[in-house]
Structure 1
Amino acid sequence: MPRPLWAGAISFGLVTIPVKIVSATEDHDVHFHRVHLADMGRVRTRKVCELDGEVVSQDDIGKGYEVSKDATVAVTDEELEQMPLPTAKAIEIVAFVDADSIDPVRISDSYYLAVDGQVAVKPYTLLRKALERSSKVAVAKFAWHGRERLGLLRIREGAIVLHSMKWPDEVRDPQELAPKAVEVGEEEIEQALQLADRMTIEDLSGFRDEYRQALEDIIAAKADGKPLPSPTRARRTRRERSWT
């Protein structure tokens, strides 16, 4: 099992379910380091105070909030820990809603909830079956990285998934971005629908990150001292890989 990111409990009425949070996704991006091209040494970032120009040690760095252009207040970790946050170690279910009532734009990161000990198996199964039979999703509140968040619980292949969600006031209104209404003919709409029908598929597993693969091919060639793959050959190779 992947390394747990958080341990706590789901609160469902009088039922408490000890769980661990693990990430539901993996990062496969190619990550570069900043290097000095003359000798390939790593380039480090120094933390410097903008007022006196001195390098600041980690022990002397804290959190500050700018209340005005000329005033900043410091907030300590101790003050943050004393804040009344009932969801500090709990995923508190506060409501159930129809899944199609959730706007996808509000959904952020995804996590799997794993049982934490044998005592959690039965209540975990109870919640899972309740969600499956109701065809609903649970809305929950939980604390994550020093702030309270809204979450969505649903079932995926027998496991409970937690999606972190944006608060209502964090979602921008798209109306100002929508173009002005124009006349579109029925024939044009029908042609668009026919194209959509021809492009409809049932499985997305055949899609591949072609940019990442091309980047890995370049890195491998340079590491082995070989010529870089030509763009035409690379595109053909990636197409062949995408259908294997």
Structure 2
Amino acid sequence: MPRPLWAGAISFGLVTIPVKVVSATEDHDVHFHRVHLADMGRVRTRKVCELDDQVVSQDEIGKGYEIAKDQTVPVTDEELEQMPLPTAKAIEIAAFTDADSIDPVRISDSYYLAADGQVAAKPYALLRKALERSSKVAVAKFAWHGRERLGLLRVREGAIVLHSMKWPDEVRSPESLAPREVEVGEDEIAQALQLADRMTIEDLSGFRDEYRQALEGIIAAKAEGKPLPAPA
């Protein structure tokens, strides 16, 4: 199992389910370093205080919030951890809703919830069965990375998945982006539907990141001193 990112519990009425949170996705992107082209030395970012122009070590860096020009209030990690939030160490289920009622644009990162120990097995299975048989998703609140978040719980291949979601006021309205009303003929609509039918597939597993594959080919060629692959 991947390394847990967070440990807490799902709060479901009178039921408490100890869980560990692990990422549901992996990053396969090719990451570059910034280098000095003259000698390929790594270029590092220094953390410098703008007042005294001194390099600051990590243990000298904290959080601060600017409440006015030239006035910043320090906030410590201990103060954030002691905030009176019921979601500080819990994923608190607040409601259930139909999955179709959730706008996909609000869904952000995804995580698997693993039952934390044998004591969690039965209540975990209970919540999973409730979600499966009701065909609904659970809306929950949880605190993570210094803020309270909105989450969505659903079942995927026997595991409970937590999707972090945007709050309603974090989603911009697309109203100003939509084109003005134009006339579209019924024949044109029918042709578009026929094309959609011909392009319809059931399985998306065949898609590949061709950009990453091409980039890895360039890196491999340069590492071996070979000519770069010719573009198609």
TM-score interval for Structure 1 and Structure 2 normalised by the shorter chain: over 0.9
- TM-score, normalisation: structure 2: 0.97
In the other structure, the counterpart of 1:67 is 67
Deviations 1:186-241 (A, max 9, x none): 11111111111111111111110000000000001111111111112xxxxxxxxx
Alignment partners' CA distance in 2, 1:144 and 1:76: 15
- Structure 1 segments unaligned to the other structure (5+ residues): 233-244
In the other structure, the counterpart of 1:136 is 136
In the other structure, the counterpart of 1:236 is none
Structure 1 vs Structure 2 CA RMSD: 1.1
In the other structure, the counterpart of 1:115 is 115
In the other structure, the counterpart of 1:19 is 19
Task: Tell me which amino acid in the other structure corresponds to 2:206.
Answer: G
- TM-score, normalisation: structure 1: 0.92
% identical aligned pairs:
89
Alignment partners' CA distance in 2, 1:58 and 1:110: 30
Task: Tell me which amino acid in the other structure corresponds to 1:21.
Answer: V
Alignment partners' CA distance in 2, 1:208 and 1:226: 25
Task: Tell me which amino acid in the other structure corresponds to 1:123.
Answer: P
In the other structure, the counterpart of 1:239 is none
Count, aligned residues: 232
Deviation at 1:82, TM superposition (A): 2.2
In the other structure, the counterpart of 1:50 is 50
Q: Do the aligned partners of 2:12 and 2:93 also contact (CA within 8 Å) in 1?
A: yes
Alignment partners' CA distance in 2, 1:49 and 1:89: 34
In the other structure, the counterpart of 2:203 is 203
In the other structure, the counterpart of 1:92 is 92
Alignment partners' CA distance in 1, 2:7 and 2:122: 18
Q: Do the aligned partners of 2:81 and 2:88 also contact (CA within 8 Å) in 1?
A: no
Task: Tell me which amino acid in the other structure corresponds to 1:60.
Answer: E
1:145-164 alignment, distance < 5 Å: 145-164=145-164
Q: Do the aligned partners of 2:30 and 2:212 also contact (CA within 8 Å) in 1?
A: yes
Alignment partners' CA distance in 1, 2:170 and 2:56: 34
Alignment partners' CA distance in 1, 2:69 and 2:177: 31
Deviation at 1:72, TM superposition (A): 2.4
